[in-house]
Structure 1
Amino acid sequence: MVSSGCCLFGMTCLVSIFFQCGAVRVTVSESNIEVVQGDSVTLPCSFLTMMPLFRLSIIWTLTPFSDPDFPTQVIVYDQGQVIENPAFTGRVQFAGMPWSADVILNDTRVSDAGTYRCLVNNPPETGDPGIGELSLSVLAPPSLPLCLWEGDTSAGGSVTLSCLVLEGVPTPQMSWEKLEPDQITLPINIEGQLKGSVKIVNVSAQNSGVYRCSVTNLLGTQNCYINLSVYTPPDNSPGVVQGIVLTLFMALVLLTLLVLVLWLHRSAQESKWRNSHEDEECYNEIRYTPSLIKRSFV
C-alpha cells in the first residue's frame, strides 16, 4: 500500500510539473544525419504533451547551408491539415501523425542540406513552442567536370588548362595528369572549392599529348580530357640553310644568264639595224653622184 501510494504521489507530482510548465517537450534523437543524394531519410522529432491534440500545430523549417540568412518552411501540420512547401511537394510527408512529428524526405537533393527545426505547439498549453533541431548533410558524387584551355599553343608560348566541377559533397579532390607518352602528375592551382588549373609556360613539342582532370570524393570519380597540340616551326638546321643558299645562288645564275641572253639578242638586233642603215646610205650616195663627163670623139 505504501509503495502504491508513493507511485501515485510521484505521478501526480509529474503531471503537476507539466501543467505548471505549460509547454510541449520536444526531443530529437539524432542531431547530425547524412544521406546520399536521391535516397530517402527520416527526420526525427518526438514530443510530449498533456493536452488533447485537437489544436496541435507542427512546423518544420529549413535554413540551407548555402543560404543561412533565408530560412523557409518545409511542411506544416495545423489542426489536422497538412501544407507543403511547393519546392518539396511530393517529396515530404509526416511519418506518424498525430503522435509523432517525424517527417520523411524522399528523393533528396544537395539543396536540401541545412539545419532543420521542428516547432511543436499544442494549445491550451501555454509557453513557447517546443523546438528540436538537427543538421542534414546530403552527399553527392562529383558531377562531370568541364575541361578548358586558353593561351598560345605555338612553341615558346604559355597555356593554361582549367577544370570546373559544379557539384560534389564532400568537396571533390582535383588532380591533373599528362597521360602520353608517360603518365605525369602536374602541380595544380586550386581556385575556390570546385575549380583548378595548370599553367604550362614556354611550351614545346614535348608538351603535346592528352591531359586528364580527375575529380574524386568518397562516392565516385569523374574525368574530362584535353588533347593539346603544340605547333613547332621547321628546324633551321645547317642543311636547310645550305639548301636555301644554293637555291638563291642558282636563281641568281639563271637570272644572270637571262640578262646576258637578252643583252646579246638586243645587241644583235642593233647591229643588224646599223648594217642595214649603212647599206642604205651607200646606195643613196651612189645614186646621187654627179654624172661623169662624157668623152667626145672628133
Structure 2
Amino acid sequence: MEIHSFPENNSKGQELTNSTESLTATEGGSITLPCTAHNISDKKVFWFQTEGYPIFVLNESQTADDRFELGRSNGDDWGLQIHDVTEWDAGTYRCLLNTKPVQMKTLHLTVLIPAKINKTMSSTSMNVFEGEDVELYCDVRGNPEPLVRWIRNDESVAVGKNLSLYDVTCESSGTYTCTASNNVGKTAYHDIQVAVCTNAAEETHHRNEGFAFILFFWCIKDIFISSA
C-alpha cells in the first residue's frame, strides 16, 4: 500500500490510491503481505483479516496467534508477516489507514496445499471372491485440486478418486496404487492389496462351515444321550 504525503497538504493527512493485490503462499511456509505508509503523522495503520477483529494496530498485536508479526524493515514498512502458513490463513486482508475517508489496500491470499491422502478414510487391503464387484476409494485433498491416478503393474488404469473393478477374477489380484499430485510438494501414494479367492476356495469355506455345524450337532446330541 502506497500512502503519499504532500507538503502543501500535510495538515490534511495522507493520500492513498485504493488498490487490490493477489498473493500466493504454500502451506507450512512464510509470506509477507506488503503495506507501505509514508509519514503517517498521528494516524494509525490497522491490519484486518476478512471482516474480523484487527490483527495489528500500529506496532501492537491484537491476536494471540504469534505466527503473525509486522516485518518493519524501515519506518514506512508496515508489511504483515505470516509464518507456518495454514489453509485457514487463506482469505482477504486489509491494510487500513484511519484517515477521513478511510484509505486501505486489499490483499487476497491463496494458500497452496500439497496433495495428501487420508489413508484412514481410504480403502484398505481386502480379500474378495471371484465374480464380485470391488470399489476402491482414495480420500485426497489439496489446493489446487490434485490429479488422482490408479496404477497397477506400472500402468495407469484409471483417473479419479474411485476405481471400480467388476466381476473380478484371479488375474485381478495385485497391488493397486493411488497417486495424487498437484505440482505443490511431492506426489502422495497409497497402496491397496486386493486378493481374489477362487470359487473353489469359497466352496471349501462353506463345506468347512457345514462340517463344523454337523460336528457341533453331534456333540450336543451325545451330551443329551449321556445325561439321559
**TM-score (structure 1 length as normaliser):** 0.56
Give the Cα separation in 2 of the matches to 1:215 and 1:155.
Answer: 29
**Structure whose residues are more often strand by fraction:** 2
Q: Are residues 1:83 and 2:61 paired?
A: yes
The within-5 A match list for 1:27-66 is: 31-48=21-38, 52-53=41-42, 56-63=43-50
**Following the alignment from structure 2 to structure 1, what is the Cα–Cα distance between the partners of residues 22 and 151?**
37
CA distance in 2, matches of 1:35, 1:200: 39
Q: Distance in 1 between matches of 2:36 and 2:156?
A: 52
User: Aligned equivalents of 1:197 and 1:149: distance in 2?
Assistant: 13
Residue 234 (structure 1) aligns with = 200
Asked whether the 8 Å contact 1:24–1:120 carries over to 2, the reply is no
CA contact (8 A) 1:151 1:160 kept: no
Q: How much does 1:160 deviate?
A: 0.2
Give the CA deviation at 1:18: 6.2
2:124 and 2:193 in contact (8 A); partners too:
no
1:178 aligns with 2:152: yes
Alpha carbons 1:26, 1:120 under 8 Å: kept: no
Kindly state the Cα deviation for residue 82 of structure 1 after the two structures are TM-superposed: 0.8
* Residue 42 to residue 27, structure 1, CA distance change in 2 (3 Å): farther
Which one of 113, 125, 132 corresponds to residue 157 of structure 1? 132
Residue 95 (str. 1) matches residue 71 (str. 2): yes
Distance 1:228 1:74, change over 3 A: farther
Residues 93 and 106 of structure 2 are in contact (CA less than 8 Å); yes or no, is this contact kept in structure 1? yes
Structure 1 unaligned blocks of 5 or more? 1-13, 64-70, 191-195, 236-298
Residue deviations 1:152-195, cap 9 Å, x none? 822111110000024x222211101223xxx332234x4xxxxx
Take 1:152 and 1:58, find their aligned partners in 2: how far apart are those partners?
63
Matching of residues 1-298 of structure 1 within 5 Å: 15-16=7-8, 24-25=15-16, 31-48=21-38, 52-53=41-42, 56-63=43-50, 71-73=51-53, 75-77=55-57, 82-86=60-64, 89-96=65-72, 99-121=76-98, 125=99, 127-146=100-119, 147-148=122-123, 153-166=128-141, 168-179=142-153, 183-188=154-159, 190=160, 196-218=161-183, 219-234=185-200
**Cα deviation digits, residues 67-90 of structure 1 (max 9, x gap):** xxxx32351215xx613323xx22
Identify unmatched segments of 5+ residues in structure 2: 1-5, 202-228
Alignment RMSD: 2.9
Larger relative contact order (Cα-Cα within 8 Å, sequence gap ≥ 6): 2
Query: How far off is 1:151 after superposition?
Result: 9.3
What percentage of residue pairs aligned between the two structures are identical? 23
* Structure (1 or 2) with the larger CA radius of gyration: 1
Give the paired residue count.
192
Q: 1:208 to 1:32 in 2, by over 3 A?
A: same
Provide the rounded CA distance (Å) in 1 between the counterparts of 2:77 and 2:111.
24
The structural deviation recorded for 1:113 is 1.5
Provide the C-alpha distance between the structure 2 equivalents of 1:232 and 1:76, rounded to a whole number of angstroms: 67
> What CA distance in whole angstroms lies between the structure 1 residues aligned with 2:86 and 2:54?
14
